[in-house]
Amino acid sequence: MTRHFNFCAGPAALPQPVLERARDELLDYQGRGLSVMEMSHRSAEFVAIAEQAERDLRELLAIPDNYRVLFTQGGATLQFASVPFNLLGRGGSANFVHTGIWGKKAIAEARHLFGAAPVVASSEANGHSAVPRQADIALTDDAAYLHYTANETIGGIEFDYVPQAVRPDGTEVPLVCDMSSSILSGPLDVSRFGVIYAGAQKNIGPAGLTLVIVRDDLLDQACAEMPSLMGYKAQAEAGSMVNTPATYGWYLAGLVFQWLKHDIGGLVAMDALNARKAEKLYAAIDGSDFYSNPIARANRSRMNVPFVLADDRLDKAFLAESEHAGLLNLKGHRSVGGMRASLYNAVPEAAVDALIDFMADFERRNG
């Protein structure tokens, strides 16, 4: 069997040690005579898996005791509706910073449900090539919270700071962040946020699981008409088991957390490795007239690196030859074209080295 290098933006690469352990436990989990995916979510065996996963995540992110950790379903996209349903029960509006396609989708959903969703800062004017400055973020007087997307997977633009969420009168409101493609890529001060949410399929585990981290004081601000399954309070009180959860995804996420702790050495070490991978690839792009990246250096994503060829007539050849070389899923999103290399936690440094070597060789042959 040959494992190729997978640069997919999601569902993304999983750590090989995690896959190997899951393989070994697939038919018989720790001598129980059944697979994790066959277990009752109420069984002592699975409850132990779930509790260990939460403990490991809390340790990795140093999550304060006054935050609940929810393992939900529906992807980050369902949170575009869940967040306003859970936080606008006392009135006010959801304020947004718009820096790309996923932020735009979150804005559209909030407007669909609540009518108004003011965009209080945007990078549209610069083509989403640089995030707005803190000074450009002007919340409305009735802001109930401020939402932003830490890293735009498609555009490859990442915030280099954590915004402050303060109304004109000086009142601080909760900061809500979609961290689907950047969570666990390095240390994080959870206490600066009211809600953090992330689809699992990039840095956490397989598709189908969604992580929500929510501060306790926000559990009683939901709209009465909210679908009950979306309620953060209900999920917190039920241990994320209001209904049958995504048990196998939860188990695999737990294995990823253990890999981060024991194989990688924690998020400080993961941060250093991710920085090195991204710096190598951007240096290769910047050192060439054949490839280019449009994002301001301060806001270049470490997780998703888009780049274009000087002659887009070579795109098909680049993709075909890279796949033949074992470099998979480098095609850019259909909305922007070009190429995109996603460098999530599970993508090894050797994959980046192999991509850089291929890019240099392709340029020599076609430049």
Q: What's the pLDDT tens digit per position in 18-65?
A: 999 999 999 999 999 999 999 999 999 999 999 999 999 999 999 999
Q: What is the pLDDT along the chain (367 residues), one digit of tens a residue?
A: 689 999 999 999 999 999 999 999 999 999 999 999 999 999 999 999 999 999 999 999 999 999 999 999 999 999 999 999 999 999 999 999 999 999 999 999 999 999 999 999 999 999 999 999 999 999 999 999 999 999 999 999 999 999 999 999 999 999 999 999 999 999 999 999 999 999 999 999 999 999 999 999 999 999 999 999 999 999 999 999 999 999 999 999 999 999 999 999 999 999 999 999 999 999 999 999 999 999 999 999 999 999 999 999 999 999 999 999 999 999 998 878 899 999 999 999 999 999 999 999 999 999 7
Quick one: tokens of 281? 């690839």
What's the CA dihedral at 223, 227, 233, 238 to 10 degrees?
A: 170
3-state secondary structure of 116: coil
**What is the 3-state composition of the chain as percent helix, strand, coil, each rounded to the nearest 5?**
40, 15, 40
Task: Output the CA–CA distances (angstroms, integers) from residue 335 to 98, 100, 153, 154, 342, in the order listed.
Answer: 17, 11, 12, 8, 16
Quick one: tokens of 297? 């250096």
Distance CA 67, CA 212 (A): 10
Q: What is the DSSP string of 60-87?
A: HHT--TTEEEEEESSHHHHHHHHHHHHH
pTM of the predicted model over 0.85: yes
What's the CA dihedral at 106, 109, 110, 112 to 10 degrees?
A: 160
- pLDDT recorded at residue 172: 97
Distance CA 83, CA 88 (A): 8
Query: Closest Cα to residue 150, out of 195, 111, 182, 189?
Result: 182
Are 114 and 84 in contact by the 8 Å Cβ rule? The answer is yes
Task: Output the CA–CA distances (angstroms, integers) from residue 358 to 125, 186, 303, in the order listed.
Answer: 35, 28, 20
- b/e map of 278-303 (b: 16 or more CB within 10 Å)? bebbbebbeebebbebbbeeebbbbb
Q: Which residues are catalytic?
A: 102, 178, 202
- pLDDT recorded at residue 232: 98
- pLDDT recorded at residue 367: 78
